Amino acid sequence: MALDKLRILKRPKLCEPRMLLGFSGWMDAGEVSSGTVNSLIDRLDTVKFAEIASDGFYICSFPGPMEMTALFRPHTKIVDGVVKSFEVARNEFYYSSEHNLILFLGKEPNLHWPDFADCIFSVCSQFGVSTVYFAGSIAGLVPHTREPKLFCSLSDENLKDNLQHYGVNFANYEGPASIVTYLTVNASSHGLGMANFVTTVPAYVQGSNPKCIETMARRLSGILDVHVELDDLRLMSDEFEKKLGEVVKDQPELAENIQKLEEDYDNEIFNHEMGDLKDWLEQQGIRLD
């Protein structure tokens, strides 16, 4: 049975907690999904209370070149010829009583999505969760020098009213779906509302993106009304942007392309998100070109 994979290690007393999901794999560009939730787990004095066993949910042996198969295989560490570790996917639930929050950090399953989803929905049911949130990211043509935008998709139209004043953009998308979309589509049948927040990270920046992680953590802490100290993340973000700026200076072609991205970003903000100001300036006879 699917729920045999779910292990409840302890039963915290929570009052209609919110749940925040983070997944590695799909929709984790710049490690924003996993990095954001992991940052909050570390900073909110959380306690692990449940987990989903990994067996049966993942493809471990996938044909193809090493850079592709490495995404599927377990991770191992060998020191001086001795195998020190062999790590399979971990899917763990943590809670913070102070903030009435459940956080889930895991790896998107390759197989048996309905069974995996049932494990998450079971935790929601057992501990009185009514709203689930997801933090995610995709790579795109955006500049690293600007505040990352936040896009939102919802399980229910009625959830929009509570989120509009947080400056999110409601997403338009058609294409491959993730386990998050599966959860969102099925949330209502389990008595849940679900809101997904996805930011776009610069495609030309590889690896973990501290700036986007800090932005997502800061924005989500406001949406969830959770007070958390993020000064260290902010310092990492500033240092990251500074070093990236130094790299860009030595690559004129990249710098030119980034300038074009900045112009497109600023024009979009001005034309679509500051329409009233644009109209007012035009009425005053102020040229905008």
pLDDT tens, position by position, 238-249: 898 888 888 877
Question: Is the CB of residue 216 less than 8 Å from the CB of residue 28?
Answer: no
> Confidence band (pLDDT; 50, 70, 90) for 84?
very high
Count other Cβ atoms within 10 Å, centred on residue 12.
15
Q: How far is CA 46 from CA 7, 83, 95, 187, 230, in A?
A: 18, 31, 5, 25, 16
Q: How far is CA 122 from CA 22, 115, 191, 262, 279, in A?
A: 17, 10, 12, 44, 51
Question: Is the CB of residue 122 less than 8 Å from the CB of residue 141?
Answer: no
Question: Is the CB of residue 148 less than 8 Å from the CB of residue 217?
Answer: no
Q: What is the pLDDT of residue 192?
A: 97
**Buried residues in 219-246 as b, exposed as e (16+ CB within 10 A):** bbbebbebebebeebbebbeebeeebee
DSSP secondary structure letter of residue 278: H
The identity of residue 9, as a single letter, is L
194-224 per-position pLDDT tens digit: 999 999 998 888 889 999 999 999 999 999 9
Q: What is the pLDDT of residue 79?
A: 94
**Which residues lie below 8 Å from residue 176, measured CB to CB, with a gap of 6+?**
none
Q: What is the pLDDT of residue 70?
A: 77
CA-CA-CA-CA torsion sign (229, 169, 38, 120): positive
Pairing of strands 92-96, 101-107: antiparallel
What's this model's pTM, rounded to 2 decimal places? 0.86
